[in-house]
A and B are shown apart, each in its own frame.
Chain A
Amino acid sequence: MKILVTVKEVAEVEDDFEIDGTSISESSLEYDLNEWDDYAVEAAVQIAEAGDDVEVVAVTIGPERSEETIRMALAKGVDRAVRVWDDAFEDVDLLDVESKTDVLAAVAAEEDPDLVLTGVQAADDSFGATGVSLADELGFEWAAVVNDLELGEDTASVRRELEGGVEELTEVELPAVFTIQTGINEPRYASLRGIRQAQRKEIAATGLGDLGLDASVVESDLRLTEMYEPESESDVTLFEGDAEATAAELATVLREKGVGAE
């Protein structure tokens, strides 16, 4: 069996940041593996560990810089990775769902996986759409926001986490794409041995041409035209000073609201 896991290196914004045009200036960003993908990777690795002859392949769309992050997935037990990048991606502010779908579907066509795991969403642009779109493109069945997954022979039993503490129990025919929710497992830390082994694992740098695609795949009818700090409608009262002073002010407010009264 082969499992394809889609992973993304996402940017986290520092507390103080600056916006530069339609993006956040590079100096205010830190890069990490997308939180949801960490759980998807763990889910895949656990399936591999429990089964015989399961290969886990990670696929990412990302520049060379992202190899460091992808290597962390390899250190956690992913067997190898495919990293798709092309100059065409450099100038795109918003890589839309359709473009991502086409690229990932092309990789899936080469890899021919039995199961695809993605994160529910990427923490940066939070479209929350790639997994389900990819499923439709591949003709796979799917389930979004999965927080429990048991694979059977031809079907999988999953729980989908709905709103308000309700979970939906669903039987899904395989092959399928599942978008994995945080909390489904406990993502491991990479061991030293894992990190050493990861150095020898393959990250195949793949261009659009290698996938039979060209630069037109990034074209989109959606354009990111503005990025700005939201206008705060807040009328928050902020207390300033050292902790003792602010705590005293907070305590006064809280007492006024009846907190701590016997």
Chain B
Amino acid sequence: MSDVLAVVDHRRGSLRDVSYELVTAGRELAGGDELHVAVVSGDVDRFAEKLDLDGVDAIHTVDYGEEFNHDVYLQAVEQLYADLEPGVVLLPNSVNGLDYAPAVANSLSLPLVTDAIAFDTDDGLDVTREMYGSKVETTIEVDAEPVVVTVRGGEWPAAEANGGADVVPFDVDIDESAVRSTVTGFEEVGGGDVDITDADVLVSVGRGIGEEENLDLVFDLAEALDATVSSSRPIVDNGWLPKNRQVGQSGKVVTPDVYLAIGISGAVQHVAGMKGAETIVAINTDPNAPIFDIADYGVVDDLFDVVPALIEAFE
């Protein structure tokens, strides 16, 4: 392969987990060549210390601004790219990664593959990614270098051991007039009286419930099981339950003893919030629903038949 430039993610003073995974993925891609890690904005020296991980050849620090700004990141990555001439620009498939990776690719006229879950570098670069809500996997053959690739969080192990990489301050030249958006603050959402992260047993409901009035069935089950009701995103998007019930990437991360997924397909952004549950039980009509890949117990059947029977079994 060839040199890799990996740009990490951080927010409000902390490196995000995907940053450490990016190092592992970057190492895999670089093979015998160099892995360059870059950190843009924030407390770059402190971040650089943490990024001195096994397999990293150099850490480039771009000391400009505090928080993520895509216009700054775009310019910084363009300049790093010109300087380092990597064969792969590796970025996280996070919300912020997706806020600038496509601009990097377009501006440098490079092909872009997002949301990679595995690589094969035996004969050129093949990227594995999912389609159709994780129902199928695909191989994308990359016929040219350089390329921009974003990697999904949680797919590569975090790099750990210490490296001994050089820390290289990078002299960036940011054109202020091209910085046309400004972050004015952050807000935590999803507060309120119910804390689903605290529950031992969650009865979680998804779009398979069909109609708002059918939610009663789920609340009845929760009552029978002495459990708390949570949900996937569409239920919250529809306004049927408040945001504090939402499990997933943009909701809460929960680790109950038992997580009962009812009419939930198991999309990656949902799974991100519940894969740490001790026991996962799924009820879904679709035998191919990805939720069954992570479930411990399951029933392939209509929830409107199984849930009432389950309530009865507990009464």
Contact = CB atoms under 8 A, between A and B. Distances in A.
> Do most interface residues of chain B lie in helix, strand or loop, or is the interface mixed?
mixed
Interface stretch (B24-32, B36-44, B56-64, B252-260): B252-260
B98 A128 contact: yes
B310 A130 contact: no
Given A230-B137, A236-B293, 4 more contacts: A11-B132, A223-B141, A254-B225, A257-B258
A109 interface: no
Contacts of A230: 130, 134, 136-137, 290, 293
A69 interface: no
Contact of A13 (B135, B185, B249): B135
Given A136-B102, A183-B236, A251 B310 contact: yes
A161 B98 CA distance: 12
Given A182-B234, A257-B257, A165 B251 contact: yes
B77 to A, nearest CB: 12
A213 interface: no
A19 B98 contact: no
A31 interface: no
B142 A234 contact: no
Given A13-B135, A227-B137, A253-B281, A127 B99 contact: no
B288 A15 contact: yes
B310 to A, nearest CB: 4
A54 interface: no
B304 to A, nearest CB: 9
Interface string B92-114: 01111011111101110101111
Nearest to A226: B139
B183 A221 contact: no
A182 B102 CA distance: 20
B214 interface: no
Interface of B: 11, 16, 70-71, 74, 93-96, 98-103, 105-107, 109, 111-115, 126, 130-144, 147, 180-190, 200-201, 224-227, 233-234, 236-239, 243, 249-253, 257-258, 260, 278-279, 281-282, 285-288, 290, 292-302, 305-306, 308-310, 312-314
A136 B107 contact: yes
Q: 3 nearest interchain CB pairs?
A: A247-B309, A183-B237, A221-B144
28 contacts: A15-B287, A16-B288, A94-B140, A128-B115, A129-B105, A132-B100, A142-B99, A163-B95, A165-B251, A170-B182, A170-B183, A171-B182, A183-B236, A223-B140, A226-B138, A227-B137, A228-B136, A229-B136, A230-B130, A235-B296, A236-B295, A236-B297, A237-B298, A238-B292, A243-B302, A257-B257, A257-B278, A258-B200
A186 B111 CA distance: 35
Contacts of A126: 114-115, 130-131, 133
B250 A163 contact: yes
B236 to A, nearest CB: 7
Contact of A162 (B95, B236, B306): B95
A161 B269 CA distance: 13
Contact of B143 (A124, A128, A222, A233): A222
Interface in A148-179: 159-173
Instruction: Give chain A's interface residue range (CB within 8 Å of chain B).
Output: 35 or more
A129 B102 contact: yes
Contact of B190 (A15, A165, A243): A165
A248 B95 contact: no
Interface stretch (A95-103, A190-198, A203-211): A95-103
> Do most interface residues of chain A lie in helix, strand or loop, or is the interface mixed?
mixed
Contacts of A182: 233-234, 237
Contacts of A130: 102
Contacts of B249: 163-164
A129 B105 CA distance: 10
B254 to A, nearest CB: 12
Contacts of A22: 138
A258 B225 CA distance: 10
A27 B147 CA distance: 35
A124 B133 CA distance: 7
Nearest to A237: B297
Interface in A58-84: none
Contacts of B314: 251, 260
